[in-house]
Protein backbone atom coordinates (compact mmCIF):
# COMPACT_ATOMS: atom_id res chain seq x y z
CA UNK A 1 0.00 0.00 0.00
CA UNK A 2 1.35 3.47 -0.80
CA UNK A 3 2.52 5.37 2.28
CA UNK A 4 0.24 8.42 1.74
CA UNK A 5 -2.79 6.19 1.18
CA UNK A 6 -1.92 4.11 4.24
CA UNK A 7 -1.51 7.26 6.37
CA UNK A 8 -4.85 8.61 5.12
CA UNK A 9 -6.52 5.29 5.99
CA UNK A 10 -5.01 5.35 9.50
CA UNK A 11 -6.23 8.89 10.06
CA UNK A 12 -9.69 7.98 8.78
CA UNK A 13 -9.86 4.99 11.15
CA UNK A 14 -8.71 7.23 14.00
CA UNK A 15 -11.45 9.75 13.21
CA UNK A 16 -14.07 7.01 13.06
CA UNK A 17 -12.96 5.67 16.45
CA UNK A 18 -13.01 9.17 17.93
CA UNK A 19 -16.48 9.87 16.51
CA UNK A 20 -17.75 6.54 17.85
CA UNK A 21 -16.46 7.42 21.31
CA UNK A 22 -18.17 10.80 21.09
CA UNK A 23 -21.50 9.19 20.22
CA UNK A 24 -21.53 6.92 23.28
CA UNK A 25 -23.27 8.28 26.38
CA UNK A 26 -20.76 9.67 28.87
CA UNK A 27 -20.98 8.20 32.36
CA UNK A 28 -18.93 10.16 34.88
CA UNK A 29 -17.80 8.48 38.09
CA UNK A 30 -17.07 10.56 41.19
CA UNK A 31 -15.57 8.47 43.99
CA UNK A 32 -12.65 8.99 46.36
CA UNK A 33 -11.92 5.22 46.31
CA UNK A 34 -9.11 4.59 43.84
CA UNK A 35 -10.13 0.96 43.26
CA UNK A 36 -13.58 2.12 42.12
CA UNK A 37 -12.03 4.74 39.82
CA UNK A 38 -9.78 2.08 38.30
CA UNK A 39 -12.36 -0.68 37.81
CA UNK A 40 -15.55 1.12 36.76
CA UNK A 41 -14.27 2.69 33.50
CA UNK A 42 -13.44 -0.76 32.09
CA UNK A 43 -16.84 -2.11 33.09
CA UNK A 44 -18.62 0.94 31.67
CA UNK A 45 -16.68 0.51 28.43
CA UNK A 46 -17.84 -3.11 28.26
CA UNK A 47 -21.41 -1.83 28.70
CA UNK A 48 -20.87 0.48 25.70
CA UNK A 49 -20.47 3.80 27.52
CA UNK A 50 -17.72 6.38 27.49
CA UNK A 51 -16.39 7.00 31.01
CA UNK A 52 -14.59 9.72 32.94
CA UNK A 53 -13.49 9.43 36.55
CA UNK A 54 -13.02 12.07 39.23
CA UNK A 55 -11.61 11.72 42.72
CA UNK A 56 -13.79 14.45 44.22
CA UNK A 57 -16.98 16.40 43.70
CA UNK A 58 -14.94 19.57 43.35
CA UNK A 59 -12.84 18.03 40.58
CA UNK A 60 -15.99 17.03 38.68
CA UNK A 61 -17.57 20.50 39.04
CA UNK A 62 -14.37 22.14 37.77
CA UNK A 63 -14.19 19.85 34.72
CA UNK A 64 -15.41 20.44 31.20
CA UNK A 65 -17.47 17.23 31.44
CA UNK A 66 -20.36 18.42 33.61
CA UNK A 67 -22.45 19.44 30.59
CA UNK A 68 -21.46 16.33 28.59
CA UNK A 69 -22.31 13.81 31.32
CA UNK A 70 -25.37 11.69 30.56
CA UNK A 71 -25.29 9.84 33.88
CA UNK A 72 -23.35 10.43 37.09
CA UNK A 73 -22.24 7.57 39.32
CA UNK A 74 -21.65 9.27 42.63
CA UNK A 75 -20.24 8.09 45.94
CA UNK A 76 -22.30 9.25 48.88
CA UNK A 77 -19.54 9.79 51.45
CA UNK A 78 -16.38 11.59 50.32
CA UNK A 79 -13.97 14.02 51.99
CA UNK A 80 -14.68 17.64 51.13
CA UNK A 81 -17.95 17.98 49.27
CA UNK A 82 -20.10 14.89 49.81
CA UNK A 83 -22.10 13.23 47.07
CA UNK A 84 -25.28 14.61 48.61
CA UNK A 85 -23.81 18.14 48.56
CA UNK A 86 -22.82 17.69 44.90
CA UNK A 87 -26.36 16.56 44.08
CA UNK A 88 -27.70 19.74 45.72
CA UNK A 89 -25.07 21.90 43.97
CA UNK A 90 -26.05 20.52 40.57
CA UNK A 91 -29.70 21.34 41.29
CA UNK A 92 -28.75 24.91 42.25
CA UNK A 93 -26.82 25.22 38.97
CA UNK A 94 -29.80 23.77 37.06
CA UNK A 95 -27.76 20.83 35.78
CA UNK A 96 -30.19 17.95 35.30
CA UNK A 97 -27.85 14.97 35.35
CA UNK A 98 -29.41 11.64 36.34
CA UNK A 99 -27.52 10.31 39.37
CA UNK A 100 -26.86 6.77 40.54
CA UNK A 101 -25.44 6.84 44.06
CA UNK A 102 -23.10 4.14 45.31
CA UNK A 103 -22.35 3.82 48.99
CA UNK A 104 -20.86 1.54 51.61
CA UNK A 105 -23.34 2.97 54.15
CA UNK A 106 -26.06 0.37 54.33
CA UNK A 107 -28.66 2.53 56.05
CA UNK A 108 -31.98 2.63 54.23
CA UNK A 109 -32.40 6.27 55.32
CA UNK A 110 -29.43 7.25 53.12
CA UNK A 111 -31.03 5.54 50.13
CA UNK A 112 -34.41 7.10 50.81
CA UNK A 113 -32.87 10.57 51.23
CA UNK A 114 -31.02 10.62 47.89
CA UNK A 115 -33.99 9.13 46.02
CA UNK A 116 -36.28 11.80 47.48
CA UNK A 117 -33.84 14.43 46.22
CA UNK A 118 -34.04 13.03 42.70
CA UNK A 119 -31.44 10.27 42.37
CA UNK A 120 -32.41 7.42 40.07
CA UNK A 121 -30.97 4.70 42.30
CA UNK A 122 -28.74 4.12 45.31
CA UNK A 123 -26.67 0.93 45.20
CA UNK A 124 -24.97 -0.48 48.26
CA UNK A 125 -21.33 -1.55 47.78
CA UNK A 126 -20.54 -4.17 46.68
CA UNK A 127 -23.13 -4.15 43.91
CA UNK A 128 -23.51 -6.45 40.92
CA UNK A 129 -22.64 -5.49 37.35
CA UNK A 130 -26.27 -6.21 36.41
CA UNK A 131 -27.61 -3.85 39.11
CA UNK A 132 -25.28 -1.08 37.94
CA UNK A 133 -26.22 -1.54 34.29
CA UNK A 134 -29.95 -1.52 35.15
CA UNK A 135 -29.53 1.68 37.17
CA UNK A 136 -27.58 3.42 34.37
CA UNK A 137 -30.14 2.35 31.76
CA UNK A 138 -32.92 3.74 33.97
CA UNK A 139 -30.98 6.99 34.34
CA UNK A 140 -30.46 7.32 30.59
CA UNK A 141 -34.16 6.76 29.90
CA UNK A 142 -35.05 9.56 32.33
CA UNK A 143 -32.79 12.03 30.52
pTM of the model as a whole:
0.83
- The predicted-structure confidence for 97-136, as pLDDT tens digits, reads as follows 999 999 998 889 999 999 999 999 999 999 999 999 999 9
- 15 pLDDT band, cuts 50/70/90, is very low
Across 54-74, average pLDDT: 97
- 22 pLDDT band, cuts 50/70/90, is low
pLDDT at 14 over 90: no
- 4 pLDDT band, cuts 50/70/90, is very low
Which 3-state string (H, E, C) describes the chain? Answer: CCHHHHHHHHHHHHHHHHHHHHHCCEEEEECCCHHHHHHHHHHHHHHCCEEEEECCHHHHHCCCCCCCEEEEEEECCCCCCCHHHHHHHHHHCCCCCCEEEEECCCCHHHHHHHHHCCCCEEEECCCCHHHHHHHHHHHHHHC
**What per-residue confidence (pLDDT) applies to 120?**
97
Domains identified in the chain and CATH numbers: 25-142 (3.40.50.2300)
Amino acid sequence: MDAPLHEAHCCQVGLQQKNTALNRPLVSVVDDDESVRESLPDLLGEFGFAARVFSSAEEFLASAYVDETSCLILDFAMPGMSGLELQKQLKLRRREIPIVFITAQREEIVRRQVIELGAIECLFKPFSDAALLAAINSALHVR
